[in-house]
A and B are shown apart, each in its own frame.
Chain A
Amino acid sequence: MVGIGYRKDFSEEFLNSDILSPAFIEVAPENWLGVGGYWKKQFHQALERYPLFTHGLSLSIGSPDELDFQFLANVKAFLKETGAVLYSEHLSYAKCDNAHLYDLLPIPFTEDAVKHVAERIRKVQDFLEQKIAIEIVSYYTPVAPELTEINFINTILQEADCELLLDVNNVYVNAFNHRYHAKQFIEQLDLNRVRYIHMAGHEQVSDSLIIDTHGEAIIDPVYDLFEHTLELLGRDVPVLLERDFNIPEMEALQAEISRLSAIKENVLKRTAHAIA
């Protein structure tokens, strides 16, 4: 299954032609919660045709602030109403000192943050009565780090007993920005927890920095890393193509979806043979 991030920017074109044929769509609940009128109609048309995956933005799981249970109750209702297959969020914070920032900031890689975040994920899972998938985010600077990134992530996953949203592009971006081996990083992750994969493009802004824009096509080294990840997984996991800016023709998006599907099918065939 390869899905697409459903965006208002291409909603009409998407719904009025069959060029783009994803297996499912993904939205941020924040963008559709409490929305009526024109967009509700469009969204319902999309829901009639495709299963829904959700990927939140504002829960701010890594925040020092209290969890917003009113907001979470709205999310819970949204998940139920739309029959969403899963709810995922970011391993980052987007709210601090009671102010939303509408962006994903990196959590300090510290012992206390591990405990804090793991506890919050557990609380959210209890409240939603379902497991959530947490995404490793791209980051451009460490913040007062005491632990390695891999240690930070694996311990949270274990202590929270949650699922992992593995954004392969984010790992590529982080490996480039922080000079480590992306493949080795993925090999060290607790891969049994991978529930969902994200794939996207990015923008290299200097010799030493990539910004995770979701505004370009996926590059070949990220496809390679994706293939390697699937080989390690040896099982079928839903994959999402994220494209948030600089949206190309529907044909170009479909070509990326097709390429992702082909890689996945190939790897699954190979691993099935290897096992048999």
Chain B
Amino acid sequence: MQLLKQTRQYQSDLAGYCRTGILQHIPGIHTSNVVHYRKLVMNVVDDILQNAYPLTYDLLSETEWDSLVADFFSEHSCKSPQVWYMPKELMEYVIDTDHALLKQYPLLCNLLQFEWMETAMFMMQDIPVVHTRNGDLLFSKLVLNPEHRLMALDYPVHRKNPSAIKPEDQQPYYLAAHRDEEGQIIFTELSPALVRVIEHLQERAASIQELYQLIEQDFGIQLAEADHLAIIHFLQQAYREGLIKGFSPA
């Protein structure tokens, strides 16, 4: 290590100033110009976070948002070399530190997770999967789109404007998020049984008949005709929207 302790300290002081706004004495520094570094740094961070969390930004007051961003950037050391990935660290910071805003906005955690999910999935690497478009939804083995995630929420942030969500809206909600052919992210609300359908398809391709049996085993029930129709209807829509990618090649 060639760097002297003193030089290292000055670098740390400048970086610390950008993060906190607290300026230590650094020899030779132009105090009127150094403020631009803090401004530039905080502008980038604020801009990236606003873009990643537009709903959160709308929900919070300006003061709340500004102090959240300031707290985050000064207290948390951003690990990602890729700035587009940095918003994930804000979500983790709020959850891990049990941030004071969570008391005022119990749904905040879900909102951040929901918004980050969209960015993360929009950007995620492609995952190829062997499948064919030649098949029959009712008889062939269905292949799930691997570019999907399941999520469980306590508040309906996927359905309602966050400011209109009431405490009585709290209940379990299940979502599948997937990326379609065009690269757009589609969220689908699922019942507990449909969550199991997806989970079974995550393990391996299966036909509708096999899925009926698996669900009956999972829940210890006998599916009625109406249940069959509901599952078929869901799978048809999932196929149209690309959550079901296609069929297992024979």
**Chain A residues in the interface with B (C-beta under 8 A):** 30-31, 33-41, 57-59, 62-64, 68, 71, 93, 95-103, 105-108, 110, 112-113, 115-116, 119, 140-145, 177, 205, 209, 211
Contact = CB atoms under 8 A, between A and B. Distances in A.
24 contacts: A35-B125, A37-B122, A57-B81, A58-B81, A62-B11, A64-B7, A64-B8, A68-B81, A93-B15, A95-B81, A97-B15, A97-B77, A99-B15, A100-B78, A100-B81, A103-B40, A103-B44, A105-B11, A106-B14, A110-B7, A115-B2, A140-B30, A142-B28, A209-B36
B181 to A, nearest CB: 10
Interface in B128-167: 147
Interface string B31-44: 00110110011001
A99 B78 contact: yes
B124 A140 contact: no
A116 B7 CA distance: 11
B125 A34 contact: yes
Nearest to A56: B81
Give the most central of B44, B81, B83, B127: most A CB within 10 Å: B81
B20 to A, nearest CB: 11
A74 B19 CA distance: 27
Given A39-B123, A101-B15, A102-B44, A144 B26 contact: yes
B190 interface: no
A36 B36 contact: no
A86 to B, nearest CB: 19
B43 to A, nearest CB: 9
Nearest to B125: A36
A57 B83 CA distance: 10
Contact of B12 (A30, A35, A39, A97): A97
A106 B15 CA distance: 10
Interface residues of B, number: 50
Contact of B33 (A35, A40, A177): A177
Given A36-B126, A105-B11, A209-B36, 9 more contacts: A36-B147, A96-B11, A96-B16, A97-B77, A103-B41, A112-B3, A113-B7, A141-B37, A144-B26
B63 interface: no
B27 interface: yes
A37 B34 contact: no
Given A38-B122, A105-B14, A113-B7, A100 B79 contact: yes
A177 B34 CA distance: 12
Contacts of A59: 81
Report the 3 A-B pairs with minimum CB-CB distance, sorted nearest first. A38-B183, A99-B77, A96-B15
B82 interface: yes
Contact of B28 (A112, A143, A177, A205): A143
B80 A100 contact: yes
Contacts of B78: 99-102
B231 interface: no
A31 B10 contact: no
Nearest to B4: A112
